Amino acid sequence: MSNPFGNRTSDLLDISGLTVALPLGGRHRTVLSDVSLRVGAGEAVGLVGESGSGKSMTARSIVRLLPAGAHTEGSIRLGGADVAALRGPALRDLRRRVPMVFQDPRAHINPVRTIGDFLTEALRAHSRTPRRAGQERAVRMLEEVGVADGRRRLRQYPHELSGGLLQRVMIAAALLTEPHLLLADEPTTALDVTTQAEVMAILDELRRERGLAMLFITHDLELAAAVCDRTAVMYAGRVMEVRASDLLHQHPLHPYTAALTAARPCLDRRAERLVTTAGRPLSAFEAPDGCPFATRCAHVRQRCHDTRPGLRPLAGGQVACVRAEELHQERAVPHE
Amino acid sequence: MTAVAALLGRGRRSALGALGTTAAAVIVAAVVLAVLGPALSPADPDASDFANAYAPPGPAHPLGFDGQGRDLLARLLTGARTSLLGPLWVVALSMTAGTVIAIVAAWRGGWLDSVVSAALDVVFAFPGVLLAMLVAAVFGPGLSAAVLALSVAYVPYIARLLRSAALAERRKPYVQALEVQGAGSVAICLRHLVPNLMPLIAAQATLFFGYAMVDLAIVSYFGLGVRPPAADWGVMVAGGQSGVLQGYPAESLLAGGCIVVLVVAFNVLGERLSDDSGQSGTSGPSRWWRPGRGGTA
Amino acid sequence: MAAYLMRRALMLAATLLVSSFVVFAGLSLAPGNPLATLSGGRSLPPESVAVLVQRYHLNEPFLVQYVTWLGNAVRGDLGVSIILRQDVSDLISSRSGTTIALILYAALIVLVGGVALGLLAALRPGIVDAIVVMSTALVVAVPPFVAAIVLIGVFAVRLRWLPALGNGTGLWEGMRHLTLPALALAAAATAAVARVTRTTVRQEMGREHVQTAISRGLPYPAVVRRHALRNAAVPISTLAGMTVASMIALAAVVERAFSLNGLGAYLVSAALSKDFAVVQGISLVLVTAFVLVNTLVDVGAALLDPRIKLGGRA
């Protein structure tokens, strides 16, 4: 079987058939359903979806950061090793190699410890780097992420830094441990607009320089298209479509992707009003038996309710929609 | 009986949970026993017969006798009355004074509030038991002196807590609407502010009842509160101590047990009520001493 | 920082002034004349009366009396015990060692035992947690005199492991004699600290920054110590400090129960025998210690949390 996911042969991350159920309200509820995704070495993959679609949960599964009592099925392989089998030091080593940049740095950095503590503690815990050497490296790394006056910053506390600076600190901390794969969970969502662009540019640049693979989680399809080689769209705990970012963004195959593209306000297209998708996004455990998007889809047919579509190869990527070919043909002929 | 009535009233209306209901039941039972005590008593609590000293329980005397040959059940039942009435007075006095101070300070605001808050911060510093000892030294031992001393010592804690709640309530739009409509200050405070603070007041009254019970028992244990030979749980713990050393711990343990059970009940119920009143700051791990400190709130 | 400490020092001074006034004012509030209160109702020879009138400036206005008394107190002169005819300061200093040792011992138990139990419950959900939660809910309501009775009954009378009464001589015997009293004094406070530790550590373990620490591959003990426990340190140490402060007054209870020759027990017997100069002196010392410890706790909490701005506080 040929590899329909991409043209890389050496996959750094290989998630296949990942299903996760969390204990909620006394019973286990599915939050991820049959998620399959690959990230090659040095590749940036975007993971796009609305809140609750399971993008963060996917990232957390990779480093086994799920809430207690979570049930997991399927496999996650990182550099060939089965993540589920890792214990103790091996698991900690994995986590060090796959750092996570979180959405809200204010909440995710310990408020009562200094920036210096935060930057160097992982170094000191793992490689027993002496304090001084760790601080030297931290200062150099701060410079790389555009934080000047690093020596002073190391002595400061998180509440003395702006959100943008704090997120740069978080990125610096992630890069300090010489990672293989960066998990970026909406790293710019909590920042204001001008800072967003700066932080994104730094993240993108440093990643490319290092040839670092990245799983980039965002709800912004356009942003994903700008920084990622490929993009996966998630809905209700499932992957709906995976394709090269520009293709996916410009010629969406799945009606849900198309709806996401249309929902974004655009400067070069005058619109009477913003296009919205009726209904609210569903969680995996609320989704109906057939296609989870069927209840909100503009192109719905009876068979959408009857069978749940799996990911199928189409047009250089994968899509989970029974009418994908049909709609693909239709879209080729513009008709609005 | 305002505090008890208030907390019983709340108890019926809100879901206290199994634990809270049990606690309320324990308290009600204790109150009933205290009221009916003398009638239920199997013997005269003060009749002493040294032939019966430390005599074990028998059919007519289910708990046996103390070191002076007095019936223990009779003394426990009689003691329940003073052991509950004392804290009731403390709570009634300190809650009333604390509430008035809190509402006046919160309502008038400005310099009056600043002065009251600063004064409360400073007065905060006196541990209740210590004040009670001082007062006992001046006025002589007695329950009323101890009750008064503890009431005074509790006021700052209660007033500080209620002041911030009253301040929050005062800033609510409905109060301002009433003011705009020309309602009088006293009327707004009595008809709206106090009823809205009532859940919090009831919760605090319950918690402080437990504290007062322990503190009064301590003062009586010192011999500075209720005077022997009067029956009181604190006095009984002290009186039974020589028995403990001789291997007859019944009197001290029974009286101490009664205090602990009731304090647990008041703690549990008070915490439930303060969870209900939405003052999460006052709930949390129970403690039977007051947070005696000025400064950072 | 300096401004904050200055503020606290001013508050401390004001509190101490008010407390000392309360302690002194008791004398003039007393029914009958101050002379009777000072003498505890005993009839004194005229020369003793003259000494008292001169000492307390009884023929001068009240405020003058207070200022003189306070001035003497600050210089370490707390008057003379009517009963023992000794300097109150000497009586206090000869007894304070026991009380200080008792409180330090109890504070150690509270901190070590409370934090350990709380951590255990926080990190071991299930049966361990349930046992700690239930036993602490009970123990937290056990006043020190009941704890004392139970400890004497079990460990001194039944098991004969430790002595029930008295001070004991020498370091080892002294420690042995102080163990049960310290446990009685610490019991409820230990339970309270355990409960707060459990709640706050559990809260902190659920926080995002702890997730970050785990996601970075820090070893579990380091996550608990450097993040959960460190961040819970403010509420834990605040409560622990408050309980230690409350022990200053409650030490009297266990000193009475265990017949220890400490300040608190002496205060009680002085109150019973109306030895007013002694009551005033010890009250002043205890209140001062209480206020000092509370201030230290506040300042310590402020130092532990970098987010509290030390400059200005509303």
The 3-class secondary structure across B9-62, one letter per residue, is HHHHHCCCHHHHHHHHHHHHHHHHHHHHHHHHCCCCCCCCCHHHCCCCCCCCCC
Q: How many CA atoms lie within 13 A of A318 on its CB side?
A: 22
- Region C63-79: mean pLDDT is 85
- Asked if the B2-38+81-276 domain carries CATH number 1.10.3720.10, the reply is yes
Please report whether residue C42 resides in a domain. no
**Burial class of residue B194 (count of CB atoms within 10 Å of its CB; 0-12, 13-18, 19+):** middle
A109 to chain C nearest CA, in Å? 5
- First-to-final CA distance of chain B: 31
- Could you tell me if C248 and C293 are in contact, meaning their C-beta atoms sit under 8 angstroms apart? yes
pLDDT tens digits for chain B (297 residues)?
444 445 454 444 456 778 888 889 889 988 888 888 777 777 777 777 777 777 777 777 777 777 777 888 888 888 888 889 999 999 999 999 999 999 999 888 888 888 888 888 777 667 888 888 888 888 888 888 899 989 988 998 889 889 888 888 888 888 888 888 877 888 888 888 888 888 889 988 998 999 899 899 899 888 888 887 788 888 888 888 888 888 788 888 888 889 999 998 998 888 888 777 654 443 333 333 333 322 222
Q: Say which amino acid occupies C96.
A: S
The CATH number for C195's domain is 1.10.3720.10
Please report whether residue C56 resides in a domain. no
Q: What per-residue confidence (pLDDT) applies to A47?
A: 92
User: How far, in Å, CA of C184 to CA of C166, rounded?
Assistant: 15
Q: Do C298 and B295 touch (CB under 8 A)?
A: yes
Q: Where are the alpha helices (DSSP H) in chain B?
A: 2-13, 17-40, 72-108, 110-123, 128-139, 143-170, 173-180, 185-188, 194-221, 233-239, 241-245, 250-276
When scoring C124, C208, C215 by the number of chain A Cβ atoms within 10 A, the one with the most, hence best to mutate, is C215
Q: What is the ipTM of this complex?
A: 0.84
Chains touching chain C through at least 3 C-beta pairs below 8 angstroms are A, B
Do C and B count as touching (3 or more CB pairs closer than 8 A)?
A: yes
- Could you tell me if A15 and A36 are in contact, meaning their C-beta atoms sit under 8 angstroms apart? yes
- Region C161-168: mean pLDDT is 77
Q: Do B222 and C271 touch (CB under 8 A)?
A: yes
Least CB–CB distance from C209: residue in A100, A108, A157? A108
User: How far, in Å, CA of B64 to CA of B235, rounded?
Assistant: 18
Instruction: Give how many domains chain C has, as a whole number.
Output: 1
To the question of pTM greater than 0.90 for the whole model, the response is no
pLDDT tens digits along B182-220 = 778 888 888 888 888 888 899 889 989 998 998 998 998
A171 to chain C nearest CA, in Å? 12
Instruction: Please identify among residues 249-288 of chain B the ones whose CB lies closer than 8 Å to any CB of chain C.
Output: 249, 252-253, 256-257, 259-260, 263-264, 267-268, 284-288
Arithmetic mean of pLDDT over chain A: 83
Q: Domain span at residue C124?
A: 88-304
- Is residue C204 within a helix (H) or strand (E), and if so which, with residue range? helix C171-205
Please report whether residue C254 resides in a domain. yes
A222 to chain C nearest CA, in Å? 28
Task: For the beta carbon of residue A332, count every other beta carbon within 10 angstroms.
Answer: 9
In the block, tokens 């403690």 appear at B287
Domain segments of chain B: what residues?
Answer: 2-38+81-276
Q: What per-residue confidence (pLDDT) applies to B297?
A: 26
Give the architecture-level CATH label for domain A11-99+179-330: 3-Layer(aba) Sandwich (3.40)
pLDDT tens digits along A234-263 = 988 888 888 888 887 788 888 888 888 776
Q: Do C283 and B134 touch (CB under 8 A)?
A: yes
Q: What per-residue confidence (pLDDT) applies to A235?
A: 87
Task: Output C156 or C168, whichever has higher pLDDT.
Answer: C156
Least CB–CB distance from B130: residue in C29, C249, C256? C249
Task: For the beta carbon of residue A117, count every other beta carbon within 10 angstroms.
Answer: 18
pLDDT tens digits along A65-102 = 888 888 899 999 988 888 888 888 889 888 988 999 99
Of C227, C221, C194, C178, nearest to C112 (Cα)?
Answer: C194
- Interchain CB contacts (distance < 8 Å): B and C: 197
Residue A22 has pLDDT above 80, yes or no: yes
In chain B, what residues touch C272 (CB-CB under 8 Å)?
A: 141, 222-224
Cis geometry, peptide bond prior to residue B42 (ω within 30 degrees of 0): no
Task: Output A127 or C196, whichever has higher pLDDT.
Answer: C196
Q: What per-residue confidence (pLDDT) applies to A181?
A: 92
Please report whether residue C212 resides in a domain. yes
Looking at chain A, which residues constitute the CATH 3.40.50.300 domain(s)? 11-99+179-330
Do C and A count as touching (3 or more CB pairs closer than 8 A)?
A: yes
- Could you tell me if B217 and C145 are in contact, meaning their C-beta atoms sit under 8 angstroms apart? yes
